[in-house]
Amino acid sequence: MARQIKDFTDEEMLDEATRILTNGFTLHHKQNMTRQELVDYCRRIGNTDDDKLGYMPFNPKDTPDITLVTPGPNGLFGHSDLHWHSNGTVYHIGEFKEILIALYCEDECVDTVFSLLNNRDAFLDLSKEDQDYWRTIEVQLNNIHHGIYGEVQPKDDNSLDEYVQMEPHKGDDRMPVVNTHPVDGQEFLYWQPPLIEKAWKDGKPTDVEEIKEKLKATLDRSIYQHHIVFKKGDMLIMDQLYTLHRRSPVINKNRLLWRVAIDYTNTLDK
């Protein structure tokens, strides 16, 4: 029987949070959790009060901190593939609050691949010259075309209509692509490839397509990627500033993950 993380001591919880920050994620197998046990576990790491969710059809009334990630109108996200992104998508770093995301697999789809990309390590491995180049770049993010979806979603799939309801960034509203993590102070590249609408270099407008291609060449490399096929009882926690993720299409429409947004306030950020 696999060690059950819900039984972790306080010392083990601190180590768990440290490993998430250090590696960008942790992954445990063969866990056995109820929805409330998942919420309780996450609250030992940090605050689970998601300021954008908790009231939607895919938030269970008895555990509103949980979002049901499953295809269809009662789940967050549709069935198509999702491009590289962090949860929070169009939000600039200053607006970004979902630092950690926990995903617990209740029902699996063995044909769906979930991929992680460590955008911190990709930046730290660059030469000083390349790091300095990226420190001169700023971008503006907005939902463009299909956003993070690989294709247009069915008209009855309106799961994100209320979830994504921020005003578009306009004019000179920009953010740096090199940012600093609020907990351990390391730099990382913040990349949201389907959403980059404008770009600046040294404060002046520059070719956004060129910047997008350079970001892709820097980050979208197998050495920084980890691929997961969720099985029932798998438990993943990922740092949304240090990692990006994507997902292939969902074949088995019964696939169900329980999702909780967290921060580090009850462990590393005490």
Average pLDDT of 260-267? 94
Whether 250 maps to a domain, the answer reads yes
Whether 164 maps to a domain, the answer reads no
Whether 168 maps to a domain, the answer reads no
What band does 147 get if pLDDT is binned at 50, 70 and 90?
confident
What band does 35 get if pLDDT is binned at 50, 70 and 90?
very high
What band does 154 get if pLDDT is binned at 50, 70 and 90?
low
Whether 267 maps to a domain, the answer reads no
Could you tell me where the DSSP H helices lie in the chain?
10-23, 35-45, 119-124, 128-134, 208-219
Query: Dihedral of the CA atoms 45, 181, 49, 9 (nearest 10)?
Result: 0
Write a three-state SS string for 69-133: ECCCCCCCCCCCCEEEECCCCCCCHHHCCCCEEEEEEEECCCCCCEEEEEHHHHHHCCCHHHHHH
Domains in the chain: how many in total?
A: 1
At residue 152, the pLDDT reads 63
CATH number of the domain where residue 117 is located? 3.60.130.10
Average pLDDT of 142-153? 77
Range of the domain at 109: 5-159+173-262
> 158 vs 191, which has greater pLDDT?
191
What band does 57 get if pLDDT is binned at 50, 70 and 90?
confident
Q: Mean pLDDT of all residues in the chain?
A: 91
